[in-house]
Amino acid sequence: MEPVFTVLVFSSVVVAFVIFNYAKLKHHMSSTFLSGEDIILTDTIERKNENRRLHLPTVRQRKSTNLPSGRIGLVPSVLPVQEKVVPLSVNYHFTRKCNYQCGFCFHTAKTSFVLPLEDAKRGLSLLKDAGMEKINFSGGEPFIVKRGAFVGELVRFCKESLQLPSVTIVSNGSLVTENWFKTYGAYLDILAVSCDSFDPDTNEKIGRQQGQKNHLSSLRSVRRLCAEYQVAFKLNSVVNTYNKDENMVEEVKQLNPCRWKVFQCLLIDGENAGADAIRNAQTFVISDEEFQSFLERHRDVECLVPESNEKMQNSYLILDEYMRFLDCTKGSKQPSKSLLDVGVDNALLFSGFDERMFFKRGGQYVWSKADMRLEW
């Protein structure tokens, strides 16, 4: 019995070893990246260095360079390649022009440039090829260009031709018409409207209006159109000196947005702070405690998604009007080269994007209207 028992134990150990290594290899091969210096055996790859990452295709290439079979020892790493960022969710600020004058605006009218429509579509196709699933069109005011037809054509292109799961717009709402919804509403998942206060005087102090046109009327009109044309409605608010003590609970509940993004007023050098800036938002800035107090007052609003300065600053992939990523890590917006000239991967290296914070702040959520259970 004893030799049989020994053989059984030995066989079990061998089988367990093979299964373990096979599972490890499978897991490893299914990962997007491999790490640093890899020992390549005929059928096994072992991680030796967690610090550097290589793209899988690079390793596959190396495996196919007529290497002899059997254990071949250490293969020197090729150039260390930075972990690849997938531009899952992109914010394209295609215009800087706006009909409002918000004192804290952090994407100001420094140029009047807008890309030709076909160039913008080409850039969006490149982003889709790089893994983009959500596009948000923003400004400035997106509906100011060609009375909404420019953003409308981009929305239609992204949904119909690129088949993006999520196509959204952030607008101040004042230039949105029913005709626009009739033509383009079917292609849009979410329309977000910015509103910081339900007190017209406060909106006036903030600059969130054009002339005497009432911002709250525009907001309610867009809300109604969203329901009628089955576009999910979202609300964005910036907490600042003028609205920090307001209680918006009842009005927000009435509007019933799918999401209420609440931002802490943020200073960006060259946009709303510093000598070169068009705006000076110093007087709008609130403390972290004041922001927390606003959140606490609105804790019963279930759809509220808070965004402090820390969460907000580097967790967005922002494209400007030239399709350059803007790196905000140093407190100003440093542009990359245009992705139309250097490609998405190269431009992304200069985006300053904090992907970990993007996921931590809940940047990926149910963003297709088809997946939302909305009562229109």
Indicate which residues carry an active-site annotation: 98, 102, 105
| Closer residue to ligand SF4, CB minimum distance, 28 or 261 | 261
Radius of gyration of the chain (CA): 26
Please tell me whether residue 172 binds ligand SF4 under the rule CB under 6 A.
Answer: yes
Q: Which residue has the tokens 């009007």?
A: 321
Helices (H), ranges, the chain: 2-30, 56-63, 117-129, 149-156, 178-184, 200-206, 215-228, 249-255, 288-297, 309-312, 339-342, 344-348, 355-360
Question: Which range, of 27-35, 100-108, 120-128, 196-204, touches ligand SF4 by CB under 6 A?
Answer: 100-108
Tell me the HSE value of 201 on the side-chain side, using a 13 A CA sphere.
1
Q: Is 126 in the site for ligand SF4 (CB under 6 A)?
A: no
Shortest CB 200 distance to ligand SF4, Å: 16
Q: Is 98 in the site for ligand SF4 (CB under 6 A)?
A: yes
Q: Return the number of the residue (173 or 306) whose C-beta is nearest ligand SF4.
A: 173
- Residue 187 CB contacts under 8 Å (≥ 6 apart), including other chains: 155, 156, 158, 159, 160, 167
The reply to whether 195 sits near ligand SF4 by the rule CB under 6 A is no
Q: Which H or E element spans position 171?
A: strand 166-171
Q: How far is the CB of 96 from ligand SF4 (least distance, A)?
A: 8
State which of residues 87, 123, 140, 363 lies at the interface with ligand SF4 (CB under 6 A): 140
Token output for 71? 């254990």
The answer to whether residue 100 forms part of the interface with ligand SF4 (CB under 6 A) is yes
- 123, 139, 306, 363: residue in contact with ligand SF4 (rule CB under 6 A): 139
Whether residue 128 contacts residue 149, with contact meaning beta carbons closer than 8 Å, is answered with: no
- Count of positions on this chain that bind ligand SF4 (CB under 6 A): 11
* Residue from 34, 85, 90, 105 binding ligand SF4 (CB under 6 A): 105
Residues at the interface with ligand SF4 (CB under 6 A) = 98, 100-102, 105, 107, 139-141, 172, 194
